[in-house]
Amino acid sequence: MKSPVDTVIAADKKLPLPAIWLFALPLAVLALGHTISNLIRTLPAISADVVAQDLAVSAGDIAAMTGFYHLAFALGQIPVGVALDRYSVKSVVSVLLALVAVGSVLAALVQGPASFILTQTVLGIGCCGMLLCPLTYAARTTDPRQFALWSAFILAVGNSGMVVSASPMAWVVEHYGWRLAYGLPALFALIVLIIVQLVIKPVRPTTHKPANVWPEIKEVARIGLSPALRGVVVLAFVSFAVMIGVRGMWGGPWLMEAKDLSRLATGNVLLGLTLVLIVMPMVVGLVDKRMGRSRLLLAIGHVLAGVMLILLPAGANGGLLAGLFGVDGFSAGYDVALIIAFGAFISVQPLLFALGRAAVSGQHAGKALSAVNLAFFAGAAIIQALSAPVNTGFGAGGVLIFLGLLSVSGAMAFWGLRKLA
C-alpha cells in the first residue's frame, strides 16, 4: 500500500524524488501537531460516559463543555493567522505545542465542570494553530497549483490522531481510566516540540509587516467575508462541525446506546472511520487534480455525507426504514456501513482550504487560511453546544439527523453562492 507521500510523489513528477521528500519531512513533522489536536478533540467519543460520571454531569453537558475547546480554537484563528504572517512557522508552533503540554496535564487533574471547561479552553488555544502552521508552511514553499494535494497530505497525517483516539484510547480508558488518556497528549506534544527544534528551519514571510497589528486583524475578517471566500466560509462553518460531531462526540454514544456495542467494539468502528478520513482526502485531492471541479465535489460530498447521517436513525428500532421493512431495526453492520460511507463523502473537506488559498495572493495566505479555519471551529463550537439540547429532546439519533440536515443545507448554500466567487 502506498503512503500518502508516495501518492503525492506519483501525482507531482515535476519535482525530483529527493526534493519532494525533503519538503514532505518538515511538513509531516508540523502536521504531527494537528495529529495531537485531532486526538484531543475526539477523546470524548470514547470517554464521555465515564468523564460525565466522574464529574457528576450528563453526556450532553460534556458535549456542551467540549464546545469551549472549539470556541477557544476558533477565537485563536485570527491572532495565529496574523502571527504566521509576521513570524516564522517554527516560532508559532513551538509556543502552541508547549501550551498543549500544559493544558493536557491540567486536563488529567480536573476535579469538576469548571476546571474541565478551563482545560478545554487552554487546549483549544494551544491546538488552534496546529493545522494552520503546516498549511502556511506549504503555502509559502510550494506551487499554488499543488496546494490541494499538499493540504490533503497534511489532513491525512493529522487525521491519524483519530486512530489513536479510537481503539487504543478506548483500551486505555477501559483499563487505566480517562485521566491517563487526557494526560498522554502532554508527552506527545513534548516529543513533537523536540523534533520541531531539530527538523524545522524558520520560514518567515518575505514582505515587511507593519508594527500595528489591528489592520491585519481586520484584514482577516475582510478576506473571510469577501465574495471569493463567502461560500467557502459558509460550508466550512458546518463541514467540520458535522465531521467532528460524529467522530469526536456522538458516533460513540450512538453505537454504544442504540446498538449495544462495547466500548472497544465502538472504538474499532471509529478506527475504521478514521482510516477512511486518512486515506480519502488524498484520493479526493487526486480526483480534483484530474477533474478541476472542486466546488462540485464539495457540494456533492456534503450532500451525500448528510444523507448517510439521516439514514442512521432511520434504520434503528422505530425508524422509518426499519418500519418499511417490517423489522425492529437493522443490524450494527448497517450503521457501520453508513458511518464509513459518511467518512468517505465528508473527505472532500480539504478542498475548502485549497479554494481559500487560491482566492488570495501568497502574502495573505496565512490570513485566508485562518479565516477558513475560523469558520471551521466557530461552527464546531456553536453546533456542538446546540447538539446538547437536541440530545436532551431527541437523543443521539436526533443529533445525527440534525447534523445531517446541516451538512445538506451547507452544501446547498455553498452551491448557491458559487457565482459570487
- pLDDT tens string 372-398: 878 887 888 888 888 888 988 888 899
- d(CA 157, CA 271) in angstroms, rounded, equals 15
pLDDT of residue 318: 82
> Which pLDDT band, with edges at 50, 70 and 90, does 17 fall under?
very low
pLDDT at 12: 46
pTM for this model (two decimals): 0.74
Q: What is the pLDDT of residue 101?
A: 96
Task: Read off the pLDDT of each residue in 42-54 and give the average, rounded to a whole number.
Answer: 86
Q: Give the residue, 370 or 255, on which the prediction is more confident.
A: 255
> What is the average per-residue pLDDT within 134-150?
74
Percent pLDDT > 70 in the chain is 87
Q: How many angstroms separate the Cα of 256 from the Cα of each of 48, 51, 277, 348, 392?
A: 11, 15, 21, 28, 17
Task: Please check the confidence at residue 82 and state whether its pLDDT lies above 60.
Answer: yes
Three cell numbers written together for 83? 502571527
* Measured distance CA(367)–CA(357) in Å, rounded: 9
* pLDDT of 204: 63
Answer yes or no: is pLDDT of 7 > 50. Answer: no
Contacts of 231 (CB under 8 A, 6+ apart): 295, 413, 414, 415, 416, 417, 418, 420, 421
Q: Which of 136-150, 155-169, 179-193 has the highest mean pLDDT?
A: 179-193
Is residue 113 classed exposed, middle or buried when 0-12, 13-18 and 19+ CB atoms within 10 A define those classes? middle
CA–CA gap between residue 40 and residue 240 (Å, rounded): 15
User: Which are the contacts of 4, defined by CB distance < 8 A and separation ≥ 6?
Assistant: 152, 153, 156, 157, 278, 282
- CA–CA distance, 111 with 416 (Å, rounded to integer): 48
When comparing pLDDT for 363 and 279, which is higher?
279
- 342-349 average pLDDT score: 93
Q: What is the DSSP letter of 348?
A: T
Better pLDDT: 224 or 380: 380
Distances (CA, A) of 68 to 77, 238, 259: 14, 17, 29
Angle at 111 between CA 71 and CA 258, to 5 degrees: 65
Confidence of residue 8 (pLDDT cuts 50, 70, 90): very low
Residue predicted with more confidence, 203 or 117:
117
